[in-house]
Amino acid sequence: MDKIRELSIPNHARIIVISDIHGELELFQRLLDKVQFSKEDYLIINGDLCEKGSNSMGVVQYIMELEANNPKVHVIEGNCDTLVEYLLNEDQNIINYLCTRKHSIMNEWLENIGYKISSESSVKEVKEQLWRHFSREIKWLTELPTAIETDHYIFVHAGLEDIENWKDTSRVAAISIPEFLLKSHQANKYVIVGHWPVGNYTSKTLSNNPIIDQEKKIIANDGGNNVKLSGQLNAFIITPSSSGDNFSHTYVDRFPTTKVIKQFNADSSWTGSISYVNYALTPIEKGEHFTLCKQPGTDQLLYVKNEYILQKDRGYEAKEEVSCTQISVEKEDIVSIIDDSCAGYALIKKDGFVGWVAKEAIE
Ligand SMILES: [Mn+2]
């Protein structure tokens, strides 16, 4: 990769890392408030400002301004931020992408200038229109660095190749390598990434909180905002202290919260979750609310909420990624409600952990 920014961060400053905002301006602003982002802090936006959410244009505008007014704000590119390059290269495939994906920054820009796109549209003309009105934004997006290196950290959207000199990682790998936490790297610093929702790595209690792998020196921070049913926007926070850097995190999501009115004790044998790829299920015993299933992909036994099991021609599968864990709650706990539309049990999030509680605990 060619675009590496070296950055020297004074060793008393807090570093806040946020990735995969995906067009969620309001969530991003709430998160900055929640971490009490101040003039003393460094803010690293770890790629994927655009796509999937409904206000990519607003996110880009807001962060461009933030960066222009604050030398401590730094942004790197994610794969979703590089899509405008297809347009600049006049690649006709981008027209098909824009016709099938409603939530794209380019569609928001086109709507803003009242240009109706169709599969017949010429890529040259769309490019000319957007360049006329948004050249500043397009230029900014294409000039973002691929990685930022500080004394102790490397910030990159997806990951590094497992090679002697990490700087030889190709740009495509840096912004789009999948499952980096299952791989390894040879840089002798922590590598902080987004891109791959951390929920994909969990096999026990589903959580979208950042994962720190001390041995591999990888920190995965993508909370699956706008990608996962229970997704959230994470802030990973590095706070220096005399004994070294402290790591912490916080998050925001769009779920309503409620106060627990009755204690619920989880059955600890109800654990695990269904995540990306492993949707196939073999039902073993159907209960009133949950069905004990075997997950052929992992050989795990899981209690799957009946409403989340679909019968397809090829067999049974999960409707989407979902927790199969029960979680305990105490009276007065504040929890977020992810799904209260099922019979008997509600899917909630407590301190970032996702699972089921009996409905009488919350209503
Ligand atoms: Mn990404």
How many domains in the chain? Answer: 2
The DSSP string of 304-337 is EEGGGEEEETTEEEESS-EE--B--B-TT-EEEE
The answer on 154 and 37 residing in a single domain is yes
Q: For 298, left (φ over 0), alpha (ψ -120 to 50), or beta? A: alpha
Structure confidence at residue 268 as a pLDDT band (50, 70, 90) = confident
Query: How many Å lie between the centroid of ligand 1 and the Cα of residue 158?
Result: 7
CA 112–ligand 1 middle distance (angstroms): 25
Cα 284 to averaged position of ligand 1 atoms, centre (Å): 37
Say if residue 148 is in the same domain as residue 33. Answer: yes
> Confidence band (pLDDT; 50, 70, 90) for 298?
confident
What is the tens place of the pLDDT at every residue in 172-190? 999 999 999 999 999 999 9
Tell me the three-class secondary structure of 54-79, residue by residue. CCHHHHHHHHHHHHHHCCCEEECCCH
- Rg (the chain; Cα; Å): 22
Q: Which residues pair with 234 in a beta bridge?
A: 251
| pLDDT value, residue 363 | 87
Q: Cα of 205 to ligand 1 centre, how many Å?
A: 24
Residue 21 sits in a domain whose CATH number is: 3.60.21.10
Ion ligand 1, residues whose Cβ is below 5 A away: 48, 78-79, 195
CA of 46 to the centre of ligand 1 (A): 9
- Would the pLDDT of 3 be above 90? yes
Q: Whole domain around residue 261: which residue ranges?
A: 257-361
- 222 C-alpha to ligand 1 centroid (Å): 9
In a domain, residue 229? The reply is yes
In whole angstroms, how far apart are CA 341 and each of 231, 272, 354? Answer: 18, 21, 16
What pTM value is reported for the model? Answer: 0.92
Ligand 1 mean position to 50 CA, how many Å? 9
Sign of CA dihedral 13, 17, 23, 28: negative
Last residue of a domain, one of 192, 226, 252: 252
pLDDT at 333 over 90: yes
| Average of per-residue pLDDT values in the chain | 95
Note whether residue 327 is domain-resident: yes
